[in-house]
Amino acid sequence: MLLTFLAFLPIIVILVMMIGFRQSSRLSLGIALVLSAIIALFAWKMNIVDVSAYILFGFLKAFDILVIVFGAILILNTLKFSGGMDSINRAFSAISTDRRVQVIIVGWAFGAFIEGAAGFGTPAALAAPLLIGLGFPALAAAMSTLIMNSSPVSFGAVGTPTNGIQTSIASLIGTENVASYMQEVTIITALIHSIAAMFIPTLVVFLLVKFFGKNRSFKDALPILPFSLFASLMFVIPYFLIAKFGGFEIPSLVGGLICLGILVFSAKIGFLTPKHSWDFDTQNNWPNFWIGEHQNDRANQTTQNTKKINIFLAWIPYLLISLILVLTRIPQIGLKDYFYSLKISFPEIFGVPNTAYSFAYGYLPGIIPFILIALLTIFLHKMQFNQVKQAWKATFKQVSAAVIPLCAGVAIVQLMNQTGNNPQGLESMLRMMAQFFANISGQAYVIVSPLIGVLGAFFSGSNTVSNILFAPLQFEAASLVGLKTQVIMALQNVGGAAGNMICINNIVAVCATVGLIGKGEHRLLTYNIVPCLFYCIIAVVTASFLL
């Protein structure tokens, strides 16, 4: 019992520090890593060379994720400082005056595309100010974009969260089995998300008219039902098909892009849109807590750049990114194996087994296409040196905040996985935690699984970190109670995505972006908790038919 408690102790410390004491993920995960090492050394009696090797291997695996994060944010910042993002934003304002249509196009389709391309909190941080610029209350914009940033998240930032599962459980299933195993996890994840996605745009509109409408009536949402269901289908169809046949890197990116194009065209010609436009009450009648500090600013002006970029030219970088990812990720095209073979391999660290590392520079999307296209955009948009400098400086600043949490999170998981290699013959820390959950839940573990994913995202602020921390634990627990591990991995993935609606980091980030710090955080948590739990219920019901 003492060893089981010690196995849980690093996770307990993370929860207490981040939720109870509201400490940063950097400090919480850093302390948890040190604690994990101490427990491995003194309770599991591992030698310091092995512990050091596993931690260093975790750092190296985290570097892969950081490269993706860097490239994803770099292309976004490059477009901001070139003026390309301003052009994209202005184009949205000319599509429709109906707020219900606007929130679906911007929050759902555009948000899904940005999630697929960049992830890591960028969709809400980008789409919410855009909605404010169109005339939304800041609180309504923040609520809508957070809830809608759920279904695309597991395949966000070209599949980084799902890659987190692959990274953390590869040693449990064997390298030779990873590809086929993850293909099944990807398909199940996409299926669960696709079913939930049929409800999300409609749910958001219902909440929007109830909480922020002049009449406070759900009836105001009924005319938009045909368009909202159409929006769900236009995302779900390409999203699921790409996940099934093309892998986990591009379903959200391409699904969002296709959905965005179809919805923009449909709205312009009035296809399935309501006959009468719906709007909020006049701003003079809005409660103060709806309004951000800079509510009257042009929120979609992301820089002081007055240069106007042609709308087609503004979209070229994202179109090229989508094209390159499609060409290099779908096996049938024939380029995937070549790019995957471009790697630098390193021997085992200190000769410790299971620590050999390969840097797949040709296949990491952070390099090809993100950094590559970011460099090309400099010339396409004729950027000045100072603009380029600002974009790179902003990117390094944003990514630097993720270095310690990601490195510590991956290292904790690698160490917990490998504590089974000890001279006492003890089970690994993760195996002991899994045994505890298996004992208290049994076959009902399917209900617990997505909630663990939500919890991970809630306190870490990331579906990726949630997957890295808890996927191995969930794998072990599912094995112990005799459930299909692929389904449980998918539930972890989906739960972590749903947790994005309520995770503290995302709520604070979007509140800071729209000027609601100090008056919006607890309201957003209150508004979004029910949609989050609703999403988990859909996931559990769907998964029950797949076990």
pTM of the model: 0.79
Spatial distance between the Cα atoms of 199 and 435, rounded to a whole number of angstroms: 35
pLDDT classification of 298: cutoffs 50, 70, 90: very low
DSSP code at position 517: T
State how far Cα 519 lies from the chain centre.
25
Say if residue 505's pLDDT is above 80.
no
Domain spans in the chain, listed from the N-terminal domain onward? 57-83+310-419
What pLDDT digit, counting tens, does each position of 84-119 carry? 988 887 887 788 989 999 999 999 999 999 898 877
Spatial distance between the Cα atoms of 168 and 180, rounded to a whole number of angstroms: 16
Tokens of 86: 């301003």
Q: DSSP states of 250-269 as a string?
A: SHHHHHHHHHHHHHHHHHHH
The alpha carbons of the chain give a radius of gyration, in whole angstroms, of 23
Q: What percent of the chain has pLDDT over 70?
A: 97
- Determine the pLDDT at residue 483: 94
Ranked by mean pLDDT, which of 258-267, 289-298, 459-468 comes out on top? 258-267
Mean pLDDT of 419-444: 87
Spatial distance between the Cα atoms of 116 and 158, rounded to a whole number of angstroms: 6
Say if residue 195's pLDDT is above 50.
yes
pLDDT classification of 305: cutoffs 50, 70, 90: low
- Determine the pLDDT at residue 245: 92
Spatial distance between the Cα atoms of 478 and 487, rounded to a whole number of angstroms: 9
- Determine the pLDDT at residue 301: 43
φ, ψ for residue 70 (rounded to 5)?
A: -60, -50
Spatial distance between the Cα atoms of 221 and 243, rounded to a whole number of angstroms: 31
Spatial distance between the Cα atoms of 322 and 376, rounded to a whole number of angstroms: 15
What pLDDT digit, counting tens, does each position of 9-61 carry? 998 998 788 778 877 778 888 999 999 999 999 999 999 999 999 999 999 98
Residue 463: name the closest of 436, 489, 492, 435 by CA.
Answer: 492
Spatial distance between the Cα atoms of 441 and 263, rounded to a whole number of angstroms: 44
What pLDDT digit, counting tens, does each position of 150-179 carry? 999 999 988 989 999 998 898 888 777 899
Spatial distance between the Cα atoms of 293 and 291, rounded to a whole number of angstroms: 7
Contact 450, 540 (CB under 8 A): yes
Cα 75–Cα 81–Cα 85 angle in degrees, nearest 5 = 70
Answer with the residue of higher pLDDT: 335 or 509: 335
What pLDDT digit, counting tens, does each position of 465-490 carry? 889 888 998 999 999 899 999 999 99
Residue 69: name the closest of 320, 409, 339, 385 by CA.
Answer: 409
Exposed/middle/buried for residue 22 (C-beta within 10 Å: 0-12, 13-18, 19+): exposed
What pLDDT digit, counting tens, does each position of 112-151 carry? 998 988 777 778 777 887 888 788 999 999 999 999 999 9
What pLDDT digit, counting tens, does each position of 249-274 carry? 999 999 999 999 999 999 999 999 99
Length of the chain: 547
Looking at the DSSP assignment, which residues form a beta bridge with residue 346?
357
- Determine the pLDDT at residue 303: 44
- Determine the pLDDT at residue 300: 41
- Determine the pLDDT at residue 123: 82
